[in-house]
């Protein structure tokens, strides 16, 4: 019956089964508990642990801060072998060592070690410091202190270290600029460097290799404008020039100098003294804007100087051009050229001297003073040229060819010496043999005597003129007194003078005419002699006629007359050429005309003050003489202007 019972619910476990299950559960808990206890109480393994790191599959790179490198006000530490921070000393300071590199927008800095202050973006770099700004500026130093707030760097040389150096490569002018000093302050923002303990700068062309060297006690260099402003014991030099001053501005791109203080320059053989202007160290040319002096020296060392209120100097041509200020408030002074070797000074409102051609020129009331002889000759005209020549046939004391000057004065010329004076439209003076050549309406005075013609040649010895030559028709006249003149006219005249300047002999040739008032034994005058002939020879001693020979050529005869003064008429006082010389139209005008002629004679007062003689203005009488066609003796062969061709 039991096998036919149907099970409809969970059957209860027997007692024996329930006991077996409980035992199994307890046994399992005991095993787990035992295992945990065993693990917590196990002793440490005394053997060292070791392992091998797997090789990387990609290169390892430093992880840089995620921050833009374009921040212009911040330095970024790019690398270093060691970085530490000691909060006990300075919580904001980092110490970096070994292979250090910082970067800032456009700037890279390398050093051996540094203190870095991230909060103030500042740093102090030490050892082999090298800073690059862009690709044009390199700065090296032993120590750099950089202030991030002002972007200002202080570069220093440590004891026993190397000089601070700033190198600027300028592609625009193809040059490199180097600045060396012990202490340099540099503004990265303005690219402006300062030094105050002495420095030197090199400006070297990358094309030619030419180099300027500039040294000074104080200075600054602007890398943007390429200008250096230096002061205190300034010295600039290159292969051809030397310049010393207290202060200047140097443009490194053009290699030119702004002169702002008294400055001495040596350019080749020449030297310059000035206080204002411009100087080009490449060409040696200068534009000087203050009272300046240039000294030109030839191969023998002889000097010719030029002084002026402003000067333009061409070193290649060795030519100087000088001007006088026109504004009175600038206290104008004349241009002065002095030939020290040949004892001549040329003065004027404008002039130039060319050492290559050895010529000088002056205008605007020019004055030439020639003092190679004991008595100075003063020469004036509208324009004066002075040229130095060499005579190989005459040797000086050193056995070298003798050099001499030729002065040419054009238009309304006049000269003065204490014993002789003269005027002419043009005058030429040769210092080699002391010859004066006067052309076009010349008159020469010596004491009471005058010589006039269309051309006069005067030869002077060391102390006085010794002869006068008139190759064309001319007149010699000497005032005797009371309106009377001894007069001699001829187509060719030569007069000889003694050492005191007194007339001692006369030779006259062709169409000779003479009027003389001989002195009697009792020192009185009672007759006048008129004579005509072909040749005359006359000897004088102490202003007395010792011998007279008037000769006629074959086929002609000597004529003349002796006229007592008591029956002498005014018409017999003067020779026709003497009358025409004065510009008088009739005999009654001669007295006033002779006074005008005497007014033409140069006076010492015209020249006694040097150039300051009323600026060399012509007297009214002299102006009248040069402009009046009826005064003076005309040239027998007048110069005819050439015809201008018809260009059509």
End-to-end CA distance of the chain: 168
Percentage with pLDDT > 90 across the chain: 51
Number of domains in the chain: 1
CA distances from 149 to 117, 134, 187, 494 (A): 12, 20, 11, 95
Percentage with pLDDT > 70 across the chain: 83
Does residue 521 belong to any structural domain of this protein?
yes
Confidence of residue 111 (pLDDT cuts 50, 70, 90): very high
Could you give the CA distance from residue 503 to residue 540 in angstroms, rounded to a whole number? 6
Could you give the CA distance from residue 368 to residue 340 in angstroms, rounded to a whole number? 13
Does residue 98 belong to any structural domain of this protein?
no
Could you give the CA distance from residue 368 to residue 173 in angstroms, rounded to a whole number? 47
Could you give the CA distance from residue 101 to residue 61 in angstroms, rounded to a whole number? 16
Query: Is residue 439 within 8 Å of 634, Cβ to Cβ?
Result: no
Does residue 478 belong to any structural domain of this protein?
yes
Query: Is residue 249 within 8 Å of 258, Cβ to Cβ?
Result: yes
Strands (DSSP E) contained in 9-63 are none
**Residue-range definition of the domain harbouring residue 548:** 474-592
Residue 86 or 301, more confident = 301
Does residue 555 belong to any structural domain of this protein?
yes
Residue 47 or 386, more confident = 386
Least confident span in 16-20, 121-125, 365-369, 601-605: 16-20
Does residue 230 belong to any structural domain of this protein?
no
Smallest Cα–Cα separation from 488: which of 498, 476, 479, 499?
A: 476
pLDDT of residue 163: 96
| pLDDT at 570 > cutoff 50 | yes
Give the residue-averaged pLDDT of 162-185: 96
pLDDT tens digits along 474-493: 999 988 877 789 999 999 99
Does residue 405 belong to any structural domain of this protein?
no
Give the residue-averaged pLDDT of 395-399: 74
Confidence of residue 81 (pLDDT cuts 50, 70, 90): very high
Name the one residue in this structure whose structure tokens are 């002793």. 43
What's the whole-number average pLDDT of the chain? 84
Least confident span in 59-73, 266-280, 451-465: 59-73
Q: What's the burial of 123, exposed, middle or buried (CB within 10 Å: 0-12/13-18/19+)?
A: buried
Does residue 564 belong to any structural domain of this protein?
yes
Give the residue-averaged pLDDT of 398-406: 84
Least confident span in 205-219, 443-457, 604-618: 604-618
Does residue 437 belong to any structural domain of this protein?
no
| pLDDT at 641 > cutoff 50 | no
CA distances from 97 to 80, 116, 235, 411, 648 (A): 6, 11, 42, 86, 90
């Amino acid at each position: 019956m039991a096998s036919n019972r149907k099970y409809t619910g969970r059957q209860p476990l027997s007692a024996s089964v329930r006991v077996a299950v409980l035992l199994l559960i307890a046994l399992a808990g005991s095993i787990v508990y035992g295992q945990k206890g065993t693990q917590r109480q196990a002793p440490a393994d005394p053997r060292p642990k070791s392992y091998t790191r797997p090789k990387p599959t990609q290169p390892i790179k430093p992880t840089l801060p995620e921050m833009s490198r374009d921040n212009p006000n911040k330095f970024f530490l790019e690398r270093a072998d060691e970085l530490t921070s000691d909060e006990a000393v300075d919580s904001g300071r980092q110490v970096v060592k070994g292979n250090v590199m910082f970067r800032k927008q456009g700037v890279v800095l390398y050093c051996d070690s540094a203190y870095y202050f991230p909060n103030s973006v500042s740093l102090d770099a030490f050892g082999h410091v090298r800073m690059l700004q862009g690709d044009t500026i390199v700065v090296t130093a032993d120590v750099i202190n950089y202030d991030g707030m002002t972007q200002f760097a202080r570069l220093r040389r440590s004891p026993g270290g190397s000089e601070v150096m700033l190198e600027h490569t300028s592609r625009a002018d193809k040059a490199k600029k180097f600045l060396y000093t012990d202490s340099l302050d540099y503004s990265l923002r303005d690219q402006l460097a300062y030094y105050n303990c002495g420095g030197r700068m090199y400006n070297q062309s990358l094309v030619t290799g030419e180099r300027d060297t500039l040294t000074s006690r104080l200075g600054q260099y602007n890398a943007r404008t390429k200008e250096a402003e230096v002061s205190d014991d300034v010295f600039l030099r290159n292969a051809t020039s030397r310049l010393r001053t207290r202060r200047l501005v140097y443009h490194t791109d053009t290699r030119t100098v702004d002169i702002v203080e008294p400055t001495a320059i040596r350019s080749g053989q020449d030297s310059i003294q000035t206080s204002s202007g411009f100087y080009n160290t490449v060409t040696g040319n200068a534009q000087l804007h203050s009272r300046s002096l240039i000294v030109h020296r030839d191969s023998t060392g002889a000097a010719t100087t030029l002084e002026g209120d402003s000067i333009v100097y061409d070193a290649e041509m060795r030519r100087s051009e000088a001007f006088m200020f026109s504004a009175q408030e600038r206290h104008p002074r004349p241009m002065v050229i002095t030939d020290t070797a040949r004892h001549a000074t040329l003065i004027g409102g404008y002039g130039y001297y060319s050492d290559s051609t050895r010529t000088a020129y002056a205008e605007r009331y020019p004055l030439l003073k020639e003092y190679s002889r004991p008595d100075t000759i003063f020469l004036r005209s509208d324009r004066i040229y002075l040229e130095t020549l060499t005579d190989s046939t005459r040797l000086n004391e050193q056995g070298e060819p003798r050099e001499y000057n030729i002065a040419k004065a054009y238009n309304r010329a006049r000269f003065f010496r204490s014993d002789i004076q003269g005027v002419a439209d043009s005058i030429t003076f040769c210092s080699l043999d002391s010859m004066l050549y006067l052309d076009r309406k010349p008159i020469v005075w010596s004491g009471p005597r005058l010589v006039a013609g269309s051309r006069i040649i005067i030869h002077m010895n060391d102390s006085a003129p010794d002869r006068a030559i008139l190759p064309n028709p001319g007149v010699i006249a000497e005032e005797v007194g009371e309106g009377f003149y001894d007069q001699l006219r001829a187509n060719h005249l030569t007069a000889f003078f003694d050492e005191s300047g007194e007339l001692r002999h006369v030779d006259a040739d062709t169409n000779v005419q003479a009027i003389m008032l001989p002195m009697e034994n009792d020192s009185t005058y009672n007759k006048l002699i008129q004579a005509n002939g072909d040749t005359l020879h006359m000897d004088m001693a102490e202003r007395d006629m010792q011998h007279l020979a008037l000769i006629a050529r074959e086929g002609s005869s000597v004529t003349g007359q002796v006229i007592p003064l008591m029956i002498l008429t005014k018409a017999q006082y003067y020779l026709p050429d003497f009358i025409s010389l004065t510009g008088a139209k009739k005999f009654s005008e001669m007295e006033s005309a002779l006074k005008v002629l005497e007014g033409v004679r140069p006076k010492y007062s015209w020249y006694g003050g040097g150039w300051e003689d009323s600026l060399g203005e012509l007297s009214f009488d002299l102006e009248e003489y040069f402009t009046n066609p009826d005064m003076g003796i005309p040239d027998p062969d007048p110069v005819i202007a050439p015809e201008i061709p018809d260009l059509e």
